[in-house]
Amino acid sequence: MTETVTVRVQRYRPEEDTAPWEQSFEVPYSEDLSILDALNQIKDQQDPTLSHRWSCRMAICGSCGVMVNNEPKLSCKTFLRDYREQAAVTVRALDNFPIERDLVSDISGFIDHLETVQPWLIRSEEQPVSAGAYPQTPEQMQRYAAFSQCINCGLCYAACPQFGRDPAFLGPGALALAQRYNLDSRDEGAAQRMQWLNAGEGVWSCTFVGYCSEVCPKDVDPAAAINRGKVASDINYAVNLLNILRGKDDA
């Protein structure tokens, strides 16, 4: 007889349901079966109405994030074998986001936060294309390389208690992305981003639980990025205060 694993899946269909509910499925077990494979098996062979988000199956696109036994995970990178000793595997939509349908979270607020910190290279003057690329040494690249690995999966937001309490908090992903560009030698937009780091919803709202770094599938360490942002914010405050005092002395 084929061994099976019980997978309990959160269901929510807004046109029918007033609240999320749980449905159990029996999925054939194998050592190499991921949570995403299990969800696809359910959708393809048991219940075609199940909705979940995925794309690359290689932990690159970041779209398949779900809660697996109460932990934020990429379903393509998480395997049934890791839960074999447990009675069941429970899968639900990411915490701290509105549920659009079943396992699909509405991450539009998260995307808005990313855009807020202007995650692109800002230059005071753009050189013509004919001038070639902006040169950068390996040492300069290493300053921000770890923070550039973010795949915008949203797991850090599902893990962040501060974002859960206050959705206005820019959150670990956006603040890490701001730090990524502020540390880039080719960028000149740190002063523009500083207003968001200094803001009430910026780095100082972080209570440094650190769970965001624990769940990151790419080892970005957003908690470390936020701490570096706090240091930058302190320096910015001190410089501005010194300039004010100098202005008074000159007067």
Span 46-55, pLDDT tens digits: 999 999 999 9
The predicted pLDDT at position 85 comes to 86
**Based on the structure, what is the number of domains in the chain?**
2
Instruction: Band the pLDDT of 246: cuts 50, 70, 90.
Output: confident
Flag whether the pTM goes above 0.85.
yes
Q: Are residues 243 and 133 in the same domain?
A: yes
Q: Are residues 124 and 198 in the same domain?
A: yes
pLDDT of 220 > 90? The answer is yes
Show the domain range for 84.
4-105
Q: Are residues 67 and 148 in the same domain?
A: no
Report pLDDT digits (tens) over 170-202. 999 999 999 999 999 999 999 999 999 999 999
Instruction: Band the pLDDT of 247: cuts 50, 70, 90.
Output: confident
Instruction: Band the pLDDT of 109: cuts 50, 70, 90.
Output: very high
Last-in-domain residue among 45, 76, 105: 105
Q: Are residues 49 and 92 in the same domain?
A: yes
Last-in-domain residue among 76, 105, 134: 105
DSSP H helical ranges for the chain:
35-45, 108-116, 138-142, 155-159, 161-165, 171-182, 190-198, 211-215, 222-250
In 65-154 the beta strands, taken as DSSP E runs, fall at: 65-68, 71-74, 89-92, 99-101, 104-105
Which residue carries 């207003």 as its tokens?
Answer: 195
Which residues fall within 8 angstroms of residue 233, CB to CB, at 6 or more apart? 194, 197, 198, 202, 203, 204
Mean pLDDT of 226-240: 92
Question: SS3 of 86, please?
Answer: coil
Report pLDDT digits (tens) over 66-101. 999 999 999 999 999 999 889 899 999 999 999 999
Q: Give the mean pLDDT of the chain.
A: 95
- Could you tell me the CATH number of the domain that includes residue 41? 3.10.20.30
> Rg of the chain's alpha carbons, rounded to an integer?
22
Instruction: Band the pLDDT of 127: cuts 50, 70, 90.
Output: confident
179 within 8 A of 228, measured Cβ to Cβ: yes
Q: Are residues 243 and 129 in the same domain?
A: yes
Supply φ then ψ for residue 7, to 5 degrees: -115, 115
pLDDT of 251 > 90? The answer is no
Last-in-domain residue among 71, 86, 105: 105
Residue 169 is inside which H or E element, if any? none
